[in-house]
Structure 1
Amino acid sequence: MTTPDQPLTARHASPDNHYPWGNGCDGWRLVEDGALSLREERLPPGGAEAPHLHRVARQIFYVLAGELSIAVPGTLLRAGAGEALEIPPGLPHLVRNAGSQDLRILLVSAPDTIGDRYPVDAALP
């Protein structure tokens, strides 16, 4: 977290802020503050995570490249480059790349999702 007495610096994806997730996916923590997180993530074709929900956090997925698919109860949401999808707290979801090229997204969560991720057994499309 940046405080008023610290200089502002640019943040970018690097080995220092990298984390693996899902099945072959990569992420980079750009901002990690209890109230907010900003991550850049890459999902290879077929990349996905397990169905889950966040009880408190609201998430916005902004697509940089590729096509994002988010399965929620009853429907499949899709977004392409330059588009965003919002997932409110409490909504079960499954993020995946059903396309043939890497999917790159910016993921904003408010507040941060650390400690706020719950697996679900929901049947998602």
Structure 2
Amino acid sequence: MKISNKNAEHYIWGGSCDGWDLVKNEELSVILEKMPPNTKEVRHFHSKSQQFFFVLSGSGTIEINGEVILLNKFEGVEIPPFTLHQMKNESNEEIEFLVISQPNSRGDRVLSS
């Protein structure tokens, strides 16, 4: 079955950010996320999941273990398990990106203290 943000399961996170579950099973998660300007996720890590963030439009910053990395369109970064990270949109434009997790990261998020 063909999948897109038109027919995928949608949810809102962080009050104003969108997510669409494009692939959602035990072994793999692919999520399309959209962040409005000046939004950010909560700093956290995963104890099992490795992730790959890949920007489709706009540009954002991701903080990984205290290092800030600028991600422009068609750039990505891999995040191993137990690695603190936080995606941010500090720009004046919307950002869209993919978050690919293996295995699925649901229930595997540990917030930073």
One-letter amino acid of the structure 1 residue matched with residue 52 of structure 2: I
Q: 1:42 aligns with which of 34, 41, 48?
A: 34
Please give the TM-score of this superposition, normalised by the length of structure 2.
0.94
Q: Which of 1 and 2 has greater Rg?
A: 1
Alignment-derived partner of residue 52 in structure 1: 44
SS in 2 for 1:89: coil
CA offsets 1:35-71 (integer angstroms, 9 cap, x no match):
0000100000011111110011011011000112111
1:102-117 aligned at under 5 Å gives the runs 102-117=94-109
Deviation of 1:15 (Å): 6.3
Shift of the alpha carbon at 1:16?
Answer: 5.3
Tell me, in whole angstroms, the C-alpha distance in 2 between the residues paired with 1:48 and 1:93. Answer: 11
Structure 2 letter corresponding to 1:101: E
User: Counterparts of 1:115 and 1:74 in 2: how far apart (Å)?
Assistant: 24
Q: 1:56 is matched by which residue type in structure 2?
A: K
2:65 pairs with 1:73? yes
The count of corresponding residues between Structure 1 and Structure 2 is 113
Gaps of 5+ in 2: none
CA RMSD, Structure 1 to Structure 2 (Å): 1.2
Counterpart CA distance in 2 for 1:52 and 1:14 is 29
Aligned equivalent of 1:28, options 20, 45, 49:
20
